[in-house]
Structure 1
């Protein structure tokens, strides 16, 4: 899974890193929209911000004249517009009669800023690229949708991992723009504690490699990337599956060696620093009460990044009262769960999504 992989192995099951998973052959349309003179939250600007995205299906306007069937699907950290085309997601959800039936819905899968083929540090600016964050991502998505695609309303936003966090930001920034939210694999609180520590370790592993040269390297800083990828591997791992699939020392070590070889080949160090650090000021908690859209929020009990004890001991009592329209589910560990990457294993939570789509359908 190359860079997109960071959405699949690195920060989400291996939320990113390995080789692109097999992708189903759906009739996607590849698109690009360029925002001129985009201003970032830091005050920095870029003459052209290029945003790539896939679409499936056709937009439909309701009797009120607004688009009523658009669904925005948001990938995880280091992923891209192809990440959620993985068969374990797309084959379960996009077919006839399924929750995101492409003969009924208009699906939009963007490359976020800094990822996939959208504008990113490795295009040439390196560490001089604007220091983007989730707010910038959401605002650029909104501009792309409204000005580039003329989509003025969303039936649903479903986001995984980073996309999960972005879903909460969307709900606060544009509360009337969507009918419903489906954030999978995150918490709507500041990225702190072990979560921030692991991200910081990955970033600093690269910055402390002399070969990084403050981002002006001509060959990738391999040792720094190895340290970063090692941390990301642990973050995305599922203990039960790891033990089952690699039950001997030799098998476990071979998996690590193979993983590193794939990951380092497909990742740019500066890009990684930027997209891992984009969550640095994420904290929707103070304004959760402003979200008006109903939400289906699903985490998995074997998620290293978002462990269930945080919900049990800290988060549930603190944030759920602010979100009366939110249903929160922690999936129990089974042979089918995949740690953080459970968010892409649609068969596990599909029934909950079906019920939610029916419940939030406009009468």
Structure 2
């Protein structure tokens, strides 16, 4: 741990944010962290955007005894693919971050107090778009005096934010590295996101979103997170999680129980994370993903219109076994961008984790990322 990258969460505030869908959100705050140093020319900055259930904790540890580092620590740090001896890396929490009760997360969302009433917003919080996440990020980046980023990158929902940056602010970055993401998804993913959200709405404790003075809808939220987790993993992963085996001591004839090893694995995976999460925040995140259009922050009204605005060279990283952002969507996006003259490269990740290969196996693309960042375009 002696050479461990130690980082601190910082806070960024905006007095107001004009939302893509109309209206204004006041007293906006998000957390962020940085790695490396900004050079005198302010041209070595890279923005990293996080995935649906993630946070700005992309690398390093907050404390030496933290059990795990940030999610992309394998590629961010001194001498790594995103070399913090060379680049200044910024990562920020999104609005409506799922982990609203994590002490290392700062996020404005439904669980926040409305400055006009002093009470949690609940469903009175305005609908937000991924373009709004990016508007906050752009203000954060500009607060450092940075006018043009070396790169924007991120996995999954972070990849959607990357495409939004490239479509709404095409001159604000030199290149993009979206991972395990594609902007041209169809109703398959829209339906899955509704499935993720449904257990929350079916939990009586949800109370139509007005649960902040009562016990939260924990059962619904945990069920939602189990569905999300299983969807993001490939079937090959289940072989290491018990396969079809019955859990120790369980009775497979008891139809009222969840007696299989895979059930316990998913429950264990969610149990520690769920207390940090907020159910309404998950609903808002799901809707922001479902309504995503690249370039919405710049006025685009369709995926085709948004993609047509992108001109930054792209390295698109994907997992062929991804069941969230299907590989054919990624390949189609790459073909579209290439057809309009954008320099596009693709890199594949292997492994049994499906969509999660973009987190746990990202080091496979490390050399491609390092070379892409270092190249002059």
- Which interval holds the TM-score relative to the shorter structure? 0.7 to 0.9
Structure 1: unaligned runs, 5 residues or longer: 1-21
3-state DSSP of counterpart to 2:177: strand
Distance change in 2, residues 1:268/1:211 (3 Å): same
Distance change in 2, residues 1:157/1:209 (3 Å): same
Q: Following TM superposition, by how much is the alpha carbon of 1:320 offset from its aligned partner in structure 2, in angstroms?
A: 4.5
3-state DSSP of counterpart to 2:53: coil
Distance change in 2, residues 1:256/1:91 (3 Å): closer
Q: Following TM superposition, by how much is the alpha carbon of 1:184 offset from its aligned partner in structure 2, in angstroms?
A: 0.1
2:225 matches 1:209 = no
Q: CA RMSD in A?
A: 2.3
Higher relative contact order (CA 8 A, sep 6+): 1
Partners of 2:73 and 2:84 lie apart in 1 by 10
Q: How does 1:28-47 map to 2 (within 5 A)?
A: 28-47=7-26
3-state DSSP of counterpart to 1:357: helix
Structure 1 partner of 2:231:
235
Partners of 2:334 and 2:172 lie apart in 1 by 26
Superimposed CA distance per residue, residues 110-132 of structure 1 (whole angstroms, 9 cap, x where no aligned partner): 01111131212112211111211
Larger Rg: 2
Aligned counterpart in structure 2 of residue 289 of structure 1, from 293, 298, 308: 308
Q: Following TM superposition, by how much is the alpha carbon of 1:73 offset from its aligned partner in structure 2, in angstroms?
A: 0.7
Higher percent of residues as helix: 1
Superimposed CA distance per residue, residues 171-218 of structure 1 (whole angstroms, 9 cap, x where no aligned partner): 0111111111000011121x4322111111222321232221111112
Q: Is the 8 A contact 1:29 1:56 kept in 2?
A: no
Structure 2: unaligned runs, 5 residues or longer: 61-68, 98-104, 113-119, 248-260, 295-302
Q: Is the 8 A contact 1:308 1:330 kept in 2?
A: no
Higher mean alpha-carbon deviation, 232-241 vs 254-263, is at 254-263
Q: Is the 8 A contact 2:76 2:84 kept in 1?
A: no
Q: How does 1:1-363 map to 2 (within 5 A)?
A: 25-62=4-41, 67-85=42-60, 86=69, 89-96=72-79, 98-115=80-97, 116-123=105-112, 124-146=120-142, 148-189=143-184, 191-217=185-211, 218-247=214-243, 248-250=245-247, 251-284=261-294, 285-286=303-304, 287-310=306-329, 320-322=338-340, 324-331=342-349, 333-334=350-351, 338-344=353-359, 345-359=361-375, 361=376
Partners of 2:229 and 2:333 lie apart in 1 by 25
3-state DSSP of counterpart to 2:147: coil
Q: Following TM superposition, by how much is the alpha carbon of 1:83 offset from its aligned partner in structure 2, in angstroms?
A: 4.3
Partners of 1:311 and 1:282 lie apart in 2 by 16
- Deviating beyond 6 angstroms after TM superposition, the runs of 4 or more aligned structure 1 residues are none
Partners of 2:291 and 2:44 lie apart in 1 by 32
Equivalent pairs, count: 328
Partners of 2:365 and 2:46 lie apart in 1 by 18
Partners of 2:85 and 2:335 lie apart in 1 by 41
TM-score for both structures, normalised by structure 2: 0.80
Higher mean alpha-carbon deviation, 191-200 vs 166-175, is at 191-200
Partners of 1:296 and 1:38 lie apart in 2 by 31
Structure 1 partner of 2:66:
none
Partners of 2:70 and 2:209 lie apart in 1 by 36
Partners of 2:123 and 2:183 lie apart in 1 by 29
